[in-house]
Amino acid sequence: MNHFYCKFSKYYISSSLAIVSMLACSFTAFAQTIPSNLEWKKLCDGIEYVHFTIQEPLLNVNVLRIDAANPSLTFHTTSPSKDWVSDENETDRRTLPDSAVEEDMVVAVNANFYRPFNAQTRVSRGPADNLGLVVSNGVLVSPTIDGYPSFIQNKDRSVEIREVIKEDSLDKIQTAVSGRNFVLKDGKSVSKEQEDSFAYLKNRHPRTVVGISKDKKFVYLVTIDGRQPEFSVGTSMLESGKILLQLGAYDAVNLDGGGSTTMVYRDESGKPVVLNQPVGLGPANTLRHNANALGVKFSEKK
């Protein structure tokens, strides 16, 4: 186990929330303005964190901002199963705290949609079929699905968000995870027409999103809690895009959301701490077993 965990005060989380109270704003306007005075907290060299609340409608948002150029950090996703079988037993389902510890990640969010998904797989370990491209440490874990955009860190440490087609070479890719659709593409939010075409995009749900800045210097890992009327109601895809754009993202992908949405960091003792309020099993603060995670770990010394 690497001894890299950064001191992070729980007192800070509760005492330094950047909270904005908005006057009677419209449904479509609320997400166009996030707090202007975000107080970013340095977790480790190259990783910053902020939590903020929007009051109307009620939203709780957690953000990790990672310096993609920091040579001591590398993006990582869940390793393939020991008994790997493509489209069947690609990874082992785990809760996000377990994934962070077992994969030795400093911070992490859940990643790909997956199957099988049912009452049993939500609460237990077992084989998972990841939907869309997954590459872990240069090894193909799950093949691409046409139309599923991917977050990628290449072996030269550059980051990008793009669709990978089946004919593309994967030789340069170090890490990749995928979602079902873009949240932002070339600085533009998903259109209202696109959102209306699929109920899951239009309705408010918990969301997990990964975005990158236009200059590709920063990567944003974002969770937006939902399905909790007195805490956070969730966002549509259009609303998610507006929030990501204000944070500084230029391209962004919607990862698995709903009850899967979870964000974790590991404290100075290595203990995983859940930063958001997931609804993995229905009630608040319950965790789901997911197929894989996207996180950051310290680079191996050469």
Question: Side by side, which strands form the sheet with 263-266?
Answer: 73-77, 293-298, 107-110, 263-266, 272-274
Q: What is the DSSP string of 12-31?
A: HHHH--EEE---S--TTTGG
CB 135 within 8 A of CB 169: no
- pLDDT (tens digit per residue) in 254-284: 999 999 999 999 999 999 999 999 999 999 9
- The model's pTM is 0.90
**Helix or strand or coil: residue 202?**
helix
- pLDDT (tens digit per residue) in 136-187: 999 999 999 999 999 999 999 999 999 999 999 999 999 999 999 999 999 9
Extract the tokens encoding 108: 């992490």
Domain-by-domain residue ranges, the chain? Answer: 10-71+94-113+179-298
CB 237 within 8 A of CB 244: no
User: Beta-carbon neighbour count of residue 53 at 10 Å?
Assistant: 16
